[in-house]
Amino acid sequence: KKLTIINGPNLNLLGKREPNIYGSLSFTEFLEEIKQKYTHVEIDYFQSNIEGELIDKLHEVGFNHDGIILNAAAYTHTSVGIGDAVKAIETPVIEVHISNTFNREEFRHQSYISPNARGVILGFGLQSYELAIQSFIN
Ligand code: DQA
């Protein structure tokens, strides 16, 4: 199986950024652990702080991969364009968030991704990504 993890803005700072909310592990460290644990799946990774690059990536992998795990970060709450891209592609998308966005500010309760996602996993820290991988494997 071929999966792609797509991370949006500021997630390149994981480990350094507000560790009380997002934890102290960097995403690359986490990804290494995950790749060693799930050797039978191919896991690609892409991160960008630029909205259009995230859309380009969704188009690129959206017709030939088995699953996409998308944390659009702040664009989740603002981007009609990313929401439309998720709708346009064929590959199922699981929306993930590290934090529980529903116990945070009101503006984080809205998602342009959720209506077109296969499912949503949030609030489990980096484990949210692992649960998404497991759901694609099963
Ligand atoms: C986030 C939640 C978003 O509201 C926030 O803008 C992020 C990270 C999360 O994974 O918890 O950057 O997507």
For the CA of 72, the closest atom of ligand 1 is: 13
Does position 110 have pLDDT exceeding 90, yes or no? yes
Instruction: Indicate which CATH number applies to the domain containing 81.
Output: 3.40.50.9100
Percent of the chain topping pLDDT 90 = 91
Does position 31 have pLDDT exceeding 90, yes or no? yes
Torsion of CA 77, 132, 117, 19, to 10 degrees: 0
Residue 109 is a catalytic residue? no
For range 17-29, the mean pLDDT: 87
Range of the domain at 33: 2-137
Residue 97 is a catalytic residue? yes
pLDDT, position 18: 86
Alpha carbon of residue 101 to chain centroid: 14
Could you tell me if 64 and 50 are in contact, meaning their C-beta atoms sit under 8 angstroms apart?
no
Q: Name the pTM for this structure.
A: 0.96
Dihedral of CA 50/85/70/44: which sign? negative
125 vs 129: CA distance, rounded Å: 8
Number of domains observed in the structure of the chain = 1
